[in-house]
Homo-oligomer: A and B are copies of this chain.
Amino acid sequence: MRNVTVFVTLKQGVLDPQGKAIQESLNSLGYQEVQGARVGKYIELQVEDGPNLEARIKEMCDKLLANPVIEDYSFDVEEAVRS
């Protein structure tokens, strides 16, 4: 079993209203030092080991987890700790 962590972020240049709202909320709470905020997704998958694991995860990202038109993604694959 592998733990796969997928990070999905908006591409540079794509407007991020949720991030803007977070920045403005933090500023109005007194955290004036926050100059920018962008929000992405963080997806943890438990995946059975198999052939072409990385290629299949890339496919999953392209087909379902990210929207390649407006989002970038990256992922890490780690051996799951067995208990």
Contact = CB atoms under 8 A, between A and B. Distances in A.
A53 to B, nearest CB: 8
Contact of A45 (B34, B56, B59): B34
Interface in A5-19: 7-9, 19
A35 B48 contact: yes
Given A38-B43, A41-B41, A43-B39, A33 B48 contact: yes
Most buried by B among A29, A38, A44: A44
Contacts of A7: 42
Nearest to A40: B42
B60 A31 contact: yes
A34 B22 CA distance: 32
